[in-house]
Structure 1
């Protein structure tokens, strides 16, 4: 099973890992695009106003530009520890026992504007780049990532549960994946939940990532979610609703 998570704009600072080594990342076939983007961001970081314009940053976020300038030299953290925010706080890998963390490292992957997709334990630096960004000389990210990333993800034989947000799902399709929509039926009519979407996906990811027995079917996913107090309903062969009241 591969649980494909969205990234986050916010990143944990620092780290104790060696600087970025593309050969240490999963899916090495993506390294050509990764290298183009890293080079573009390092070069762009020399021009702070241009970086702010391209990345949608305010004048108070010059530290984010500095992160990009140090992409090749700054320390790394495992990807699942680098990303922060509601989903990752709820996922709570810091509280996993050793066996749970080993399962999570095998099952979790993160969509990334800079790296395409990385597994949970892949060592990455802090950076700033969003899925909707357009970089000078390269343009938007979808044309860069779509072909290579769709090819990579199409070869994943495992059951893929796609928890990506729309921006990152737009970078590459995964036709065989099971998508999850967070919905409320408290009014008798199902509506998509936006405010607590990330927290609920984090709870689901934690349950599936740490389950003692890895599910191989949608029925297995639903069963594990139920044991964690989560209500999942299959709406078509490749879609699940995570229903909250």
Structure 2
């Protein structure tokens, strides 16, 4: 099983690892595109005002321009520790046992505008780039990633793929046959609406349940059973779709 998480705009700074080495990342065939995008990000950061405008950075985020400029020389840390925020708080990798962490690192990938997708243990630097970012003079990130990313992920041959990425990141590299998950809120009258604010929290809880499960599910029904065993209300809403009802 492979669980693809969305990245987070918020990230831990610094890290204990050596600078970015593309050869150490999962999906090595993506190397040339990763190199191209990373070089373009660094070049853009050499023009601070243009960079801030292109990446829509506010006055309190201008340090991210300098951090992008140092992309090739800054320290790294495992992707599972680099990304922070609501989903990763719910995933709570720091509280996993050694055996659970091992299963999680084998099963989890994280989408990335900069790197396409990375393994949970892949050493990556801090960076600022989102799926919606547009680097002046470059094709869109979707145009760069979409022809190859989904195919490379599917080519890993990990069996069932559970895609928890948000729409913008999933569009960078759709994986055929992947299970999608929707979080819905149910009102007292039985009507439902898509959850937005706590969407990442519930997906983080589901990701944790799947990542540490002793047995991998074979289909959407198996995913729903694991979610239910952890106190979640899950419904199979299609061959490739699960709904969490909150």
Q: TM-score, normalised by structure 2?
A: 0.96
Q: Contact 2:220 / 2:241 at 8 angstroms: preserved in 1?
A: no
What CA distance in whole angstroms lies between the structure 1 residues aligned with 2:132 and 2:154?
22
Matches within 5 A, 1:83-162: 83-157=83-157, 158-162=159-163
Task: Report what 2:238 is aligned to.
Answer: 236
Task: Report what 2:81 is aligned to.
Answer: 81
Deviation at 1:180, TM superposition (A): 0.1
Task: Report what 2:207 is aligned to.
Answer: 205
What CA distance in whole angstroms lies between the structure 1 residues aligned with 2:60 and 2:197?
26
What CA distance in whole angstroms lies between the structure 1 residues aligned with 2:62 and 2:117?
26
Task: Report what 1:184 is aligned to.
Answer: 185
Deviation at 1:219, TM superposition (A): 2.3
What CA distance in whole angstroms lies between the structure 2 residues aligned with 1:218 and 1:179?
9
What CA distance in whole angstroms lies between the structure 2 residues aligned with 1:123 and 1:153?
18
Aligned length: 244
Task: Report what 2:18 is aligned to.
Answer: 18
Deviation at 1:155, TM superposition (A): 1.9
SS in 2 for 1:138: coil
Deviation at 1:23, TM superposition (A): 0.3
Deviation at 1:217, TM superposition (A): 2.5
SS in 2 for 1:180: strand
What CA distance in whole angstroms lies between the structure 1 residues aligned with 2:160 and 2:37?
29
Are 2:195 and 1:196 equivalent residues in the alignment? Answer: no
Task: Report what 1:71 is aligned to.
Answer: 71
More divergent stretch after superposition (170-179 vs 18-27): 170-179
* Cα distance per residue 1:112-158 (max 9 Å; x no partner): 00000111000000000000011022131110000011221232431
Q: Over aligned residue pairs, what C-alpha RMSD do you find?
A: 1.0
Matches within 5 A, 1:3-14: 3-14=3-14
What CA distance in whole angstroms lies between the structure 2 residues aligned with 1:242 and 1:73?
42
What CA distance in whole angstroms lies between the structure 1 residues aligned with 2:103 and 2:125?
23
What CA distance in whole angstroms lies between the structure 1 residues aligned with 2:69 and 2:83?
19
SS in 2 for 1:134: coil
Task: Report what 1:227 is aligned to.
Answer: 229
| Structure 1 alignment gaps of length 5 or more | none
Q: Contact 2:27 / 2:153 at 8 angstroms: preserved in 1?
A: no
Are 2:170 and 1:169 equivalent residues in the alignment? Answer: yes
What CA distance in whole angstroms lies between the structure 1 residues aligned with 2:23 and 2:46?
26
Task: Report what 2:220 is aligned to.
Answer: 218
| Structure 2 alignment gaps of length 5 or more | none
SS in 2 for 1:36: helix
Deviation at 1:40, TM superposition (A): 0.5
What CA distance in whole angstroms lies between the structure 1 residues aligned with 2:175 and 2:203?
18
What CA distance in whole angstroms lies between the structure 2 residues aligned with 1:101 and 1:46?
39
